[in-house]
Structure 1
Amino acid sequence: MDGRCGTRALWRWRGNPLRRREDVLEAWIVLAVWAVVTVGGSLVGVLAGHAADETFARQRAERHPVRAVLLTSSSRLPASDSAVDDRAPARVRWTAPEGTTRTGSTLVGTGLKAGTKVVVWVDARGGLTRQPSDRAAATVEAVLFGMAAALGLALPTLGAGALLRRHLDRRRIEAWGREWDQVEPKWRHRTG
């Protein structure tokens, strides 16, 4: 491969009698868009993933399982109702870390009778909460959050770049039209 490929890629910055101001602007827009997408997207993705991972780690540290007693039976619900993963809402009673007895509603396995002992998850204040994601699931979720954040930056940036390039294309076409209006009459007289 010869060195011409690299110089062809940078033609808009070289001195060229056919180069227009719009061509230089477009080259800078393309460079800026790709810099924002690659560098900014990577940075935003890593930061969002790291923040999500820290949040999941904090949840694992703050939440813990406690034993609770079902106050109501958890009936089997049809698949179209509010059962989630073969779980249904039920009232439970548990003892908070400071020793007070509390009651609340949470999801438990379906088909359990009142009085059954179940495990529920509570936060640092003793309130019911969801079970935190384990490390593997949290890692996957953090990566997905990071990718979503990177896409959240990349897509609007690419869209803005495309709109700016379209505007420059319109300006070029209008300039070509004006120049053709000046040149075309001279060409018509030559041919006939």
Structure 2
Amino acid sequence: MGRGSRTVWTAMGVWRWRRNPLRRPTDLFEAWVAFAALVCVLVVAPAIGWVAGMRVDGTLQRAAREQRHERYLVPAVVVRPGPEPPGGASADPSAQRQTPQRTRIVAAWTAPDGSSHQGTVPAAEEPPRTGDRFRIWTDTRGRVVGQPLDPSSASFHAALAGLAAALTVAVLVETVRRMVVRRLVHRRYIRLDRAWAAAGPDWGRAGAGS
């Protein structure tokens, strides 16, 4: 039985224990704690996740719109091979297989403002050849930038953020519930030990308690 099922069954104790003559005050309190935790997991956590996801989505969508207005796909041409990575041919082949790197080339391009630029960028095709043409993302002044954030990718990341927020709240609620229950059980054992210590010396003696 999972944590959620245990919480549900404990929450049902709010009704079962309400008129039971053997009910202890802590039993009813524990049941209400479980019921409150269940409400938080089923209602509060999803609500917080939805709000968090919507806020993140709004922020990312604004960033995506700004990037689409500030970044441009401009034509570039391969000038020559770029410098070798640190270590050159002596680099660890196993490391290269685990983290493959694209070939670096020196390319030339014209920025949207008309200025000419030349720099080292990743090759668009393998192997790169001098004179090959490809396109790169730059800002207005021709500085190389990353591809603009896609709206669908922004929504996906926002959904993940909302889900993470909801799960975090649910885990926090369950953790608090467990801490409260553990504290209640500890207090029950203390009371039981005290009661046993008081009744223990007279246990089994004839006429004890008379």
Structure 2 residue 174 is the aligned partner of structure 1 residue 158:
yes
Pick which of 11-20 and 44-53 moved more: 11-20
Deviation at 1:163, TM superposition (A): 1.6
Percent identical across equivalent pairs?
Answer: 30
Q: Which letter does structure 1 place at the counterpart of 2:48?
A: V
Match runs of 1:139-178 below 5 Å: 139-178=155-194
- Structure 1 contact 66–119 (Cα < 8 Å) conserved: yes
Change (3 A) 1:144 1:20: same
Q: How far apart, CA to CA, are the structure 2 residues paired with 1:55 and 1:14?
A: 48
Between Structure 1 and Structure 2, how many residues are aligned? Answer: 184
Deviation at 1:116, TM superposition (A): 3.2
Higher gyration radius (CA): 2
Deviation at 1:171, TM superposition (A): 0.8
**Cα RMSD for the two superposed structures:** 3.8
Structure 2 residue 135 is the aligned partner of structure 1 residue 119:
yes
Deviation at 1:117, TM superposition (A): 2.8
Change (3 A) 1:17 1:111: same
- TM-score normalised by L of structure 2: 0.64
Match of 2:23 among 19, 28, 32: 19
Unaligned stretches of 5+ residues in structure 2: 1-8, 85-92
Match runs of 1:37-186 below 5 Å: 37-61=41-65, 62-63=67-68, 64-69=71-76, 70=78, 73=81, 78-83=96-101, 87-90=102-105, 92-102=107-117, 106-109=121-124, 110-122=126-138, 127-186=143-202
Runs of 4 or more, structure 1, over 6 Å off, are none
Unaligned stretches of 5+ residues in structure 1: none
Pick which of 150-159 and 113-122 moved more: 113-122
Q: How far apart, CA to CA, are the structure 1 residues paired with 2:140 and 2:44?
A: 36
- TM-score normalised by L of structure 1: 0.69
CA-to-partner distance for each residue in 1:27-77, whole Å, 9 max, x for gaps?
3332332333332321221123223333443343223441242455378x9
Q: Which letter does structure 1 place at the counterpart of 2:41?
A: V
- Structure 1 contact 88–108 (Cα < 8 Å) conserved: yes
